[in-house]
Structure 1
Amino acid sequence: MSDLLDELQWRGLVAQTTDEAALREALDGGPLTMYVGFDPTAPSLHFGNLVQLVVVRRMQRAGHHVICLVGGSTGLIGDPKPDSERVLRTKEQVADAVAAIRSQVEAFLDFDGDNPARMVNNLDWTEGISALDFLRDYGKYFRVNGMIKKDAVSARLNSDAGISYTEFSYQILQGLDYLHLFRELGCTLQTGAVDQWGNILAGVDLIRQTEGEHVHVLTTPLLTDSTGRKYGKSEGNAIWLDPAMTSPYAFYQYFLNVEDAEVVKLLKVFTDLGADQVADLEKQVREEPFRRAAQRTLAEQVTTLVHGPEATRAVQDASAALFGKGDVTVLDERTLADATAELPGGEVAVGVTITDALVASGVADSRNAARRLIAEGGVSLNNVKVGDPEAVLVEEDFLHGRVAIVKRGRKHLVAVRRSA
């Protein structure tokens, strides 16, 4: 346990703490109870949320007691965005999202064994509180002049949109969560992203005022893409953890294609690689960037973490088959569909010539150009070189009855889809 905070800092997982020396002493002093919360504002967690999951995963491995909170009540309100009011979701939508997120979180932590994680829903302790009790028992501890200093609230107050009392009250609800978990389960540490700093401090202040106790906060930096935008559904660039929303193939390809400048940072955050291993991969990025060894390691390990080893092997096989000389005919239907979803191409009927298929899919701009490509040996169908420009596509050429892979040269791929 004594090295945990140092490791988190080396991995770039610490942005702020309420009192670093006190937190270090608490972590070194034996198992403490901590929590992280997720609001069900979407039917899945995303890449940004994964940062919190790896933090609490490390906390549990170090022997600390982890509570995962899914916000059945706070999800009905919504954390204020700095630019506009959230669209309120129905109770049914939130309940469905709570169930989905609970299922996702369970894959990252140990809920059995000697130190099981706990899963809680804040709707369980807030649903029965009346409006009068809420205002009298909790609202009286919050000062409006302090609440309006929170970044998102301040931005909204200075905008034409303003802010509703509903969203303004969000920080009271989140503060109540920390107080409840402190009282009932002895929780003394909350983790979250750095943009939650103000909301988390609301709980710290509430515990200090009501219980006279000092508790801890640890926030993580926001991960951003190459344009500087954070990851999330509101930003339109979410990489979802649900395979139905971001396929394992697309997930793997995303990490395989991260920029050299970002890959070392992500290796530290999302893998268990030690300092020497990371340093070796960093050296390879510097000296042999074309091999993309760091990206391959990152993609394999993060995909395995989120989707499991079997899914990782499937997407690696698909990548090898599409971009190498592997057998594309052995790919299962789901992996094939995911792998070809973003490929350019066109639709053709069974019985058309490969020449016409090249034109229809945009590989060649004319039949003569298509014939030249074939004659030069630069065209393959499902990774088998084509030599006859008059060869026709038969039903067996459409894998799983849906798509044929046409390749020009080594890297130009198109998906020729069978027309209805």
Structure 2
Amino acid sequence: MNFVEELRWRGMLHDIMPGTEDLLNKGMASGYIGYDPTADSLHVGHLTQIMTLIHFQRAGHKPYALVGGATGMVGDPSGKSAERNLLSEDVLQHNLACIKEQLSKFLNFDCGANSAEMVNNYDWFKDFSFLHFIRDVGKHITVNYMMAKDSVKNRLNGDTGMSFTEFTYQLVQGYDFYYLWKHHNCSLQMGGSDQWGNIVTGTELIRRKDAGEAFALTTQLIKKADGTKFGKTEGGNIWLDPAKTSPYQFFQFWLNASDADAKNFIRIFTLLDKETIEAMEAEHDAAPHLRVLQKALAKDITIRVHGEAEYEKAVKASEFLFGNTGIEFLNELTHNEVVGLFDGLPNFQISKADLEAGVNVVDLLAGLTQVFPSKGEAKKMITAGGVSVNKAKLTGVEQVLNNENLVAGRYLVPQKGKKNYFLIVVE
């Protein structure tokens, strides 16, 4: 497998420094990508770079995943309009531990010569004094060189300006590359296209400081076909941590991709080969309503991030809301999973005391909760046979529910029509 050609046909490659392909064609090379520990989980926006390292290792090269314990204390100005809040060391260490665990799901850390390795730049910066840094690093890169970078110019021309802390970020990242080149024979740094300036600062430092040679490669920044930002929803980031984004929500994010996005995403975010993907595209084009690409994409990536069992549960959850799975499915879920399943749908809380002696369905749906805006509307729709609770159609406006009707001892699930679900949590 040729690493660069793999990125090309998948539509991932953006910029590549001359000589990079020659380096990779000579045999096993070492390369790295840095991950910013500003949160205790990676999100789908990081997946392009995770996939880049996976392809790099599959092509027989040695990947290094750098977690920025030191650079996380500074903050990368690339693509940012304002300076970020600096994190405490305790928070950073917690974030680093979580990110390391997530990366270990994707890369093979025990496969011989090209086993992946994880490094933390805090390890080589923690004892590096300011005076030594400006003598050993700062003197090799001119202010003119640093000012010419887009990440610097854009901020200086904006309203917020740029602190000295962020201005020095490219030197800090440049030294990361120098350190890994010097101590780990790492000759290639990779990243998103917005990182090109920071990466080539590293190659320049290696050249000026030790007359060495190093290379750079960047990937496309992923955008959705409609122009909106990839990886964002109304609820915020789509995280890899199931406590932040449930496996069901994660699965739905990919399943709901547009046809245009699915054709792009399935190449970037899965390991399916070109022939398989092209066959799926033909099948999808022949019957778009079957959503072949979206289903294959959601399955592949949900299994790799959350495992087969969580994928199966996500499929069942989808069938529960949009198909014929029975209410007993909720018994298989934790409370957080139930809440995640109904995320974005109206939900209400009532007490068990409210149900103790039984409550009329109209009073429940248009009094204790606001499933209906009025009792008159509730009665009308119940009489017409359009209301269910726990997947069972209500028989009439006089029907009474009590604690024995609770699913998993805790929930009632009203439904108006076929697709309008509500969750009532009974505490």
Taking structure 2 as the reference length, what is the TM-score of the superposition? Answer: 0.91
Matched with 2:402 is 394
Partners of 2:16 and 2:218 within 8 A in 1: yes
How has the CA–CA distance of structure 1 residues 417 and 326 changed in structure 2, closer, same or farther, with 3 Å as cutoff? same
Q: What residue in structure 2 maps to residue 342 of structure 1? A: 344
Residue of structure 1 equivalent to 2:14: 15
Show CA shifts across 1:339-382 (max 9, x none). Answer: 01321143453232223334355554433433343333322222
CA–CA separation in structure 2 for the residues paired with 1:304 and 1:18: 35
Which residue of structure 2 aligns with residue 77 of structure 1? 74
The counterpart of 1:27, out of the listed 1, 24, 28, is: 24
- CA distance in 2 between partners of 1:335 and 1:363 (Å): 22
Unaligned runs of at least 5 residues, structure 2: none
Give the Cα–Cα distance (whole angstroms) in 2 for the partners of residues 253 and 92 of structure 1: 34
The correspondence of residues 193-342 of structure 1 with structure 2, limited to 5 A, is 193-225=192-224, 228-231=227-230, 237-331=236-330, 332-333=333-334, 334-342=336-344
What is the CA–CA distance in structure 2 between the aligned matches of 1:14 and 1:52, rounded to whole Å? 11
Does structure 2 retain, via aligned residues, the 8 Å contact 1:231–1:237? no
Per the alignment, residue 189 of structure 1 pairs with 188
% same residue: 39
In the other structure, the counterpart of 2:412 is 404
Pair 1:27–1:396, CA change in 2 (3 A): farther
What's the Cα RMSD here?
Answer: 2.1
Looking at structure 1, the residues matched to 329 and 235 of structure 2 have their Cα atoms a distance apart, in angstroms, of: 34
The one of 17, 38, 44 equivalent to 1:41 is 38
Please state how far the C-alpha of 1:236 moved relative to its aligned partner.
Answer: 8.2
1:246 positional shift:
1.3
Aligned residues: 415
Moved more, 222-231 or 383-392: 222-231
Preserved CA contact (<8 Å) 1:322 1:328: no
What are structure 1's unaligned runs of at least 5 residues? none
Structure 1 pair 280–405 and aligned structure 2 pair: CA distance change class (3 A): farther
Q: CA-to-partner distance for each residue in 1:198-227, whole Å, 9 max, x for gaps?
A: 011111111111222322211111112455
Q: Is the CA contact (8 Å cut-off) linking 2:6 and 2:55 kept in structure 1?
A: no
How has the CA–CA distance of structure 1 residues 345 and 256 changed in structure 2, closer, same or farther, with 3 Å as cutoff?
same
1:359 to 356, 366, 372: 366
Partner of 2:160: 161
Secondary structure class of the residue paired with 2:194: helix
Q: Partner amino acid for 1:104?
A: Q
Code of the residue aligned with 2:399 in structure 1: it is: A
Per-residue CA deviation, residues 373-394 of structure 1 (Å, 9 max, x unaligned), is 3333322222222223322222
Query: SS at 1:78's partner residue?
Result: coil
Look up the equivalent residue of 1:83 and give its one-letter code.
S
Could you tell me how far apart the structure 1 residues matched to 2:87 and 2:235 are? 18
**Correspondence for 1:94:** 92
Work out whether residues 40 and 95 of structure 2, in 8 Å CA contact, stay in contact via their aligned partners in 1.
yes
Q: Which amino acid aligns with 2:176?
A: D
Mark the CA change 1:285 to 1:358 in structure 2 (over 3 Å): closer, same or farther: farther
Q: Secondary structure at the match of 1:15?
A: strand
Secondary structure at the aligned position of 2:413 is classed as strand
